[in-house]
Structure 1
Amino acid sequence: MRLLTLLVLRLMAVVLLCLVVAVGCLIIDAHRSIESDVSATSQRVNTHLQGLYWQHLVWRNGMARGTLMTLPEWKSVATQSIISPGVCVTYAPPGADQQTLCSQVEVLGPQAPQWFVAAYLDILGPHEPIAQNLSIRDSSAGVFVTSADPDAALRRAWREISTVVQFAIMMAGAIAFLAAVMIGHALMPARAIIDALRKLEGGELALKLNKFKSTEFNHISNAVNRLAATLHQNNSERLALTNRLFQVQEDERRSIARDLHDEFGQALAATAALATVIEAGAPADRPDIAKDARSITKAQKRMMDALRTTLVRLRSQSIEELGLEASLRQLINDFNAQSNSGTVYKLHMSGRIATLPKCIAVDLYRIAQECLTNASKHGRPTEVSVRLEHVAETAPHVALTIEDDGGGDASKIRTGSGHGILGIRERLAGIGGALSIGNAPRGLRILAVVPTSAPEALA
């Protein structure tokens, strides 16, 4: 989940929690307000009815004989005016039936929905009525009961709460929008940092982040810049070391090839000459000696062929002496001559190949040699094509393409840990090139591109 979305959701959760707490406080406050209105109404009605009661006593000249006569009509406009909205008063005058007087309910707002009624009653319960004796001196004066009309109480609570909730929802929406804008603006440096890290992953080690207004993001930016500088330095050192290692490797190959040619070559030549002499001088009655001599000659030829093949793989001085074009032609001829499976190796070249720097020529030769070896060793192609093209126009570069029809999965080769592909990548990195491995119509295609204008290429 994106950080902006996560922060907005957390903010909305806090706002929702505050809204729930506020609604709960409003419900409790509305409940207490209704109870307060009931209590205040009870006090006012008590005072009013007591006035009527004592007025009745005075008008009737004190206590009458027998039962006290009915009070004057108490359900009047004067009585209703002192009853709070949503409150009912129930009273039974002496000698009369019980009567109830309620204030208007409609003025308190619309009727509350059933889910609110159920929740309200479950949480707070109904309001308790207040019962009072009209006179503490005369119990026969009767008792009046002041209570909250259930429908009126719910209407009142719903009106207050719905109004606040609507306002709170609008406020929450506004807060969410403004928070998203402000948080998004505050997190903009994070996008730049992420883009920089992706560029670092892609090999752009020369990048540098600018300073941000936020101190925290500045710390991250400085860390990324230090990481980029360190990676750039380490990469430069690694490339220099890689080039040096390949140069040492080439020198060592030349030395081994020279020793093999001078020592083993002469020894094998002497062995062949000695075997010929032995075969020529063998007695007629000892044909086994001539046979053994011929066996030695055959073994010597096989060893000489193996030595020549090894020398071809080891020696690169032919590139310096003959050039890359002739060396590649000789390499293709050797593979065609040594092919036991009928694989045909082809070579196509275009452009000014002879003008390539020596370091590029040697590496391209080794890359072609490694790819041809892998194609013949790990697959069964019927045709392997090598194409070398030097482009000297807009973006000068040299492209080496090796394509075969022996099948294979390019994804496995790209993600594999083989030393051959790793060595090719290291060679190309040392001269500023890039390697691409993909599927051909019936096999694999390996493309090595080296920019001839790069500083590494011209070194």
Structure 2
Amino acid sequence: MRLLTLLLLRLMAAVLLCLTLTIVGLVWDAHRSIEADVSATATRVDQRLRALYWQHLMWRNGISRGSLIPLPDWDTVETQSIISPGVCVTFGLPGTTPHKLCSQVEALGPPAPHWFAAAYLTVMGDFSPVVRQLSLHDERAGPILTAADTEAALRRAWSEISTVVNVAVMLAAGIAVLAAIMIGHALMPARAIVGALQDLEEGHLGPHLGKFNSTEFNHIANAVNRLGTTLKQTNSERIALTARLFQVQEEERRALARDLHDEFGQALTATTALAAIIETRAIPERPDIAHDARAIAKTQEYLMKILRTTLVRLRSQSIEELGLEASLRQLITDFNAQSKSGTIFRLHMGGHLAELQKQVAVDLYRVVQECLTNASKHGRPTEVTVRLEHRNSSEPHVTLSIEDDGGGDSGHVSTALGQGILGMRERLAGIGGSLSIANARKGLLITARVPLSSEGAHV
């Protein structure tokens, strides 16, 4: 899950929790407010009835006070005006039917939804009534029952809570949107850091990141830049070492080829001469000696053929003397001549290949040689095509491709740990190049790319 999404989900969870706590607080406050209004209404009605009693007593000039109970009519508009909205008062003198007087209900807002009413009553319970005993002139005039009308109380609670909740929801939505924008802006450096790491993965080494506003991201960026610088330095050292190793290898190849030619070649030539002498001087009575001499000569001829082939593979003097183009043409000619399965080897070249550095030319020649050998040894292609092109574009480079129709799986070849593939990769890495293996229409396509502007290309 993306960090931005995770942070927004956590923020929404926190907002929902705060909203829930706010709703609970509003419900509790609304319930207490209704109970407070009920209690205050009971007090005001009690005072109102006492005032009516004394007012009526004064009108009658204090005569026959005991007969003033019952009181005059109390359920008037004036009495209703002191009753809080949604509250009902029930009162009756002894011996009379109690009368119920309620304040307005419709003014409290629309009816509450059924789910809200059920949830409210389940959590908070019914509203508790308030009972006050009215005593007039030391006589009990009857109880005053003050209670909240359930429907009116639910209307009032729903009106108060819904109004605040609507505001809270809009506020929470606004906070979420602004937070998403701010968090997204704050996390923008993460994309740049990921991009820099991907560049490092693709081989684009060196520092890539600048300064950020966040101290934490600056620490990460500095670490990534240091990593890129270290990798670049290490890679440069590795390329230089690899190039030197292949130079030493070429020197050893030339020394080995020289020793084989001078020592082993001369020994084979001498062996041929000795075999001819033995065959000539063999006496007629010992035909087996002449036969053995001819066998030795035949074996020597086979060894000489192997020696010539080995010398061709070992020597690179022809590249220095003839150039890369002529050496590749000779290599293709040799493979066509030595092919026992009828494989046709083709060569296409373009660009100014003569301008290539010596080490680049030698390494490209060795890569072609290794690919042709692998195609002949491990597959049964009918045709192998080699294309080599020097492109002088904004980024000068050499592109080499070897395509065959002998089947094979590029995935298996790419992950194989054979010395041939590994050696080609290391050889190209030594001159700053790269190697890729893909499936062709009927076989494999091996592509090498060497940027001539890199350090390794000018070794």
TM-score (norm 2): 0.91
TM alignment of 1:81-160, pairs within 5 A? 81-135=81-135, 141-160=141-160
Contact 2:240 2:456 (C-alpha < 8 Å) held by counterparts: no
Task: Give how far 1:130 is off.
Answer: 1.8
Comparing 105-114 with 273-282, greater Cα deviation is found at 273-282
The one-letter code of the counterpart of 1:202 is E
What is the distance in 1 between the residues matched to 2:424 and 2:350? 22
> SS at 2:144's partner residue?
strand
Deviation at 1:162, TM superposition (A): 0.8
Q: Is the 8 A contact 1:343 1:384 kept in 2?
A: yes
Find the aligned partners of 1:394 and 1:92 in 2 and give their Cα distance: 105
Q: Does 1:61 align with 2:64?
A: yes
Aligned counterpart, 2:47 = 47
Indicate the residue corresponding to 2:374 in structure 1. 374
Mapped to 2, the partners of 1:395 and 1:25 lie a distance apart of 70
Q: CA deviation at 1:260?
A: 2.1
Partner residue, 1:296: 296
Q: What's the counterpart of residue 362 of structure 1?
A: 362
**C-alpha distance in structure 1 between counterparts of 2:334 and 2:136, whole Å:** 130
What TM-score do the two structures reach when normalised by structure 1?
0.91
* Deviation at residue 228 of structure 1 after TM alignment: 1.6
Q: Contact 1:133–1:139 at 8 Å: present in 2 too?
A: no
Inter-partner Cα distance in structure 1 for 2:392 and 2:7: 54
Letter in 1 for 2:350: S
Q: Does 1:306 align with 2:306?
A: yes
RMSD over aligned Cα atoms: 2.6
Cα pair 2:206 2:231 within 8 Å, conserved: no
* 1:16 Cα offset (Å): 2.0
Cα offset, 1:71, TM superposition: 3.5
Displacement after TM superposition at 1:322 (Å): 2.5
Q: Secondary structure at the match of 2:94?
A: coil
Q: What are the ranges of 5 or more consecutive residues in structure 1 without an aligned counterpart?
A: none
Q: 1:48 to 1:267 in 2, by over 3 A?
A: same
Quote how far apart the aligned CAs of 1:54 are: 6.6
Counterpart in the other structure of 1:344: 344
Moved more, 122-131 or 32-41: 122-131
1:181-233 CA distance string (max 9 Å, x none): 22233223222222222222222223442222222222122212211211111
Structure 2 Cα separation of the partners of residues 179 and 82 of structure 1? 48
Q: Map of 1:243-392 to 2, 5 A cutoff?
A: 243-392=243-392
Deviation of 1:138 after TM superposition, in Å, equals 7.0
| Larger mean Cα displacement after TM superposition, 372-381 or 415-424 | 415-424
Listed one character per residue, the Cα deviations across residues 118-164 of structure 1 (whole Å, up to 9, x for unaligned) are 21112111111122322399786332321111111111111111111
Point out where structure 2 has 5 or more consecutive residues left out of the alignment. none
Asked whether the equivalents of residues 343 and 383 of structure 2 are also in contact (C-alpha less than 8 Å), the reply is yes
Contact 1:197 1:224 survives alignment (8 Å): yes
Q: Displacement, 1:52?
A: 4.5
Code of the residue aligned with 1:171 in structure 2: it is L
- The residue aligned with 2:166 is 166
Q: Structure 1 residues 416, 49: CA separation in 2 closer, same or farther (over 3 Å shift)?
A: farther
TM-fit CA distance, 1:36: 0.7
Give the aligned length.
Answer: 456
Q: Quick one: which amino acid aligns to residue 166 of structure 1?
A: N
Decide whether the 8 Å contact of 2:207 with 2:226 is kept in 1. Answer: no
TM-aligned CA deviation for residue 308 of structure 1: 2.3
Q: For 2:130, give the aligned amino acid.
A: I
167-176 vs 295-304, which deviates more?
295-304
Q: CA deviation at 1:283?
A: 4.1
Tell me which residue corresponds to 2:36: 36
Q: Distance in 2 between matches of 1:427 and 1:453?
A: 17
Q: Secondary structure at the match of 2:135?
A: coil
Sequence identity of aligned pairs in percent? 66
Instruction: Name the SS of the counterpart of 2:128 in structure 1.
Output: coil
